[in-house]
Amino acid sequence: MSSTMFFLPFLIGFIYLAIFAGVLYLIHTWVTKFVRLKQEYNDLLREIIRKMDRPTDGTFNRNE
């Protein structure tokens, strides 16, 4: 019984650390995904602005 009581605090501490590490991993994943989506959004806006700033000759070309 005393050996079980000796390992119980270590087991509880390990579980708490595992939960904390899991939460940090999820936060890192969400932040990385958010930054990547924001960068993609900015790239799309930059491309739209670049296409709008190009002078046109009055015809519509759908391949551009």
Q: Which parts of 1-64 fold into alpha helices (H)?
A: 2-53
Collect all residues with Cβ–Cβ distance below 8 Å to 51 and sequence separation of at least 6.
64
pTM of the entire predicted model:
0.62
Q: What is the DSSP letter of 64?
A: -
Dig out the tokens for 38 from the structure: 């924001």
Residue 42 corresponds to which amino acid? N
Question: Is the model's pLDDT at 52 over the cut of 80?
Answer: yes
Q: What is the pLDDT of residues 15-51, one digit of tens each?
A: 999 999 999 999 999 999 999 999 999 999 999 999 9
Dig out the tokens for 7 from the structure: 């390992």
